[in-house]
Chains A and B, each alone.
Chain A
Amino acid sequence: MSSETRVASLREFWQRGRGQANLMIGLLVTLLLVALAAVSLFWTPYPVNAIDIPAKLQPPSAAHWLGTDQFGRDVLSRIMAGARNSIAVSLVAVGIGAGIGVPLGALAAARRGWVEEVVMRFNDFTFAFPALLSAVMITALLGPGAVNSIIAIGIFNIPVFARLTRGAALSLWQRDFVLAARVAGRGRTRITLDHILPNIASLLIVQMTIQFALAILAEAGLSYLGLGTQPPDPSWGKMLNEAQTLMFLAPQLAIFPGLAIMVTVLGLNLLGDGLRDLLDPRLRRLR
């Protein structure tokens, strides 16, 4: 494909997408989150872990926009650094889920027979446990920490992607153009790479945004339980946990990280919905 056609189709997407409120809001929130995390890499209003006991539990002010916690640490700085943490954990976890789940699903659809049975029964096995409970179990087994929470969340993303890929790929395998590719002498691997995956790419992108939101929630949940990111590294879930005891003294400590989680998940869900509307021609509204 030449670069002009690619640019042309990107511009077409932009023109179609601009009119969709949910897509634009979702995109804005997501970009804001990424920007916050990126800025926190080299600048935060205060050092993230700097303790300043005399300035503890301050309400929002000009000096501390979102106030300070019980150790006098700046809440805004910690939320910014927490965003970085949430993004890293979710990105890698969804990467694990898609990186293993998509090939498994594609393999199941291409080979059928006992391969498919093994893959799908393994999926059912993983699906049978509530994801968060199992994540708690895995982190309890492997020990708490950011890396182990990534593994735990990642494992439970695998069947989601495997099922989605298999279902979509199975219907594509029945299509004439796949038969045409087989008639042209292509093997199953090449057909999967050249014909099946490009056709379900949009589906996978949408699912990734939604799983990304769920992973952020799961990471916050694990950290809240003390199984995820360990102190003193900032994490939204950890902040909620620490704020709990001070709920009536300093409610803002719980409100701001809670808002951060809520807005992020909402934004990612809106983005996912918007992308689905944009990429799936069957759902496109007639204008």
Chain B
Amino acid sequence: MSLLSLQDLTVTLDTPEGPATVLDRVSFDLAPGESLGIVGESGCGKSMTALAVMGLLPAAARCRGRIDFEDQDLLTLDERALCALRGRRIAMVFQEPMTALNPVKTIGFQVAEGLRWHFGLGRGEAEARALKLLDRVGLPQPRFSPDLYPHQLSGGQRQRVVIAMALACDPALLIADEPTTALDVTSQAEILALIAEVTAGSKMALMLITHDLAVVWQNTAAMLVMYAGTVAERGATAEVFARMAHPYTRGLLAASPGALEDILPAGRRLATIPGQVPDPHDRPQGCVFAGRCPRVADDCLPCPPGERLLVPGHAVACLHPHEGETPS
């Protein structure tokens, strides 16, 4: 049984230049306690997927398909029902801890906020639980008093506060949208370790959104490569890394710096993927990656490639996928 299940989710934004398709028939399942990494470059629909699950898409967005969460279709719920889910069953960690905290409220207030709202706890009880949460995310008392304001903390410490806020109501699903992008390298490792620690051994599912393949490699059991609002490749993380089939996935790997030295030769130059993500107002008929693909052939252009199963649990949306092991 899956906790979260997206079925053919298509999101179109009404813009002054006409409708823009930002997600195109995205499907995936996430079971309780599992972790899923969603990877892709800027503008490929990662954050849109997260916002769609939270029901926080911009007003101009039109959705088709289904988002089933705990046997309810989120797309059919009204705002009141969504408010009861948000923060309670689904929580989110943001990219930019500098702006994700209210500058004029204490961290204790902000961590306790969800508890007071969802569980109807009194102020004293909620703040007592907030102390425990701060402790759990590595902000021990009395050094990190709940009376501190966000500007009195470093970036990594603020992200810990954001994680404490997300964990407050013990959600079933934690969405982390680029949780380490704004942090320095050492804080990145600590925050990722913290997220792994709080999700391990619990039934909390993790949806980790990142542009960094290394983060996916280290933190998630399954992965999804997205490109221009479509799923390019999916599977168990180890399997996908071992046999990357989509030219885009291989391109991403070749363009990743550092941290992957164990799979990449030393001294190589970083590769780039030429071109840009196609304009969502004007998507190509066929494969969306065809315009940048080194392996493009005539049959890629007329119609989009469906997803094909390579081995059980590893699928790719490409007519001419790479075969064999990822070269090192």
Question: B94: CB under 8 A from chain A?
Answer: yes
The B45-63 residues at the A interface (CB cut-off 8 A) are: 54, 56, 59
Within 8 Å of chain B (Cβ to Cβ): is A183?
Answer: yes
A180 CB within 8 Å of chain B: yes
Report yes or no: A183 in contact with B106, Cβ–Cβ below 8 A.
Answer: no
Contact indicator A187/B83 (Cβ below 8 Å): yes
Contact A175 B114 (CB under 8 A): no
A8 (CB) vs chain B CBs: closest residue: B147
**Does B100 interact with chain A (Cβ within 8 Å)?**
yes
Q: Is the CB of B54 within 8 A of A183?
A: yes
Interface centre among A2, A184, A194 (most CB of B within 10 A): A184
Q: Which residues of A contact B59 (CB under 8 A)?
A: 112
Q: Are B86 and A184 in contact (CB under 8 A)?
A: yes
List, in ascending order, chain B residues with CB within 8 A of A259's CB. none
Q: Tell me which residues across on chain A come within 8 A of B84, comparing CB atoms.
A: 185
User: Bound complex: CA of A185 vs CA of B168, how far in Å?
Assistant: 12
B211 within 8 A of A: no
Minimum Cβ distance to chain B for residue A105 (Å): 18
Asked if A182 and B86 sit within 8 Å, CB to CB, the answer is yes
At the interface, yes or no: B103 with Cβ under 8 Å from chain A?
yes
* Interface majority SS (helix, strand, loop, mixed), chain A: helix
Contact A184 B105 (CB under 8 A): no
The answer to whether A199 touches B117 (Cβ under 8 A) is no
- The answer to whether B91 and A183 have CB atoms under 8 Å apart is yes
CB-contacts of A192-230 with B (<8 A): 194-195, 198-199, 201
The range of chain A's interface size is 20 to 34
Q: Does B85 lie at the interface of the complex (its beta carbon under 8 Å from any beta carbon of A)?
A: yes
Contact of A5 with B by CB under 8 A = yes
**A53 on the interface (CB 8 Å rule)?**
no
Task: Give A2 to B109 CA distance when docked, in angstroms.
Answer: 11
Of listed B82, B85, B92, B104, residue having the most chain A CB within 10 A: B104
A26 to B56 CA separation, bound complex (whole angstroms)? 46
Residues of B within 8 A of A175 (CB): 99
Query: For the complex, is B118 an interface residue (Cβ under 8 Å from A)?
Result: yes
Q: Are B162 and A180 in contact (CB under 8 A)?
A: yes
Q: Give chain B residues whose Cβ lies under 8 Å from the Cβ of A187.
A: 79, 83
Q: CA A67 – CA B56 in complex, angstroms?
A: 69
A198→B99 CA distance, assembly (Å): 16
Interface: B87 (CB within 8 A)? yes
* In contact, A183 and B147 (Cβ under 8 angstroms): no
A201, B92: Cα distance in complex, Å: 28
Cβ contacts under 8 Å, A31 to chain B: none
CB-based contact B165/A186 at 8 Å:
no
Min CB gap A204→B, angstroms:
13
Q: Is B68 an interface residue (CB 8 A)?
A: no
Report the Cα distance A183→B104, complex, angstroms: 19
Kindly identify, within residues 153 to 189 of chain B, every residue whose CB is under 8 Å from any CB belonging to chain A. 162, 165, 168
Q: How far is the CA of A176 from the CA of B97 in the complex (A)?
A: 9
CB atoms of B88 and A180 under 8 A apart: no
Does any Cβ of A come within 8 Å of B113's Cβ? yes
Complex contacts, B100 vs chain A, CB 8 Å: 176-177, 179-180
The listed residue (B83, B85, B91, B147) touching A186 by CB distance below 8 A is B83
B94 and A184 contact, CB distance less than 8 A: no
* 9 A–B contacts, CB within 8 A, in A order: A179-B94, A182-B54, A184-B114, A184-B165, A194-B113, A195-B102, A198-B102, A198-B104, A198-B105
12 extra interface residue pairs, beta carbon distance < 8 Å, beyond A184-B114, A185-B83, A185-B85: A176-B94, A176-B100, A177-B100, A177-B101, A180-B92, A180-B165, A183-B86, A184-B165, A185-B118, A186-B83, A186-B87, A194-B105
Which residues of B are interface residues toward A (Cβ below 8 A)? Answer: 54, 56, 59, 79, 82-88, 91-92, 94, 96, 99-106, 109, 113-114, 117-118, 147, 162, 165, 168
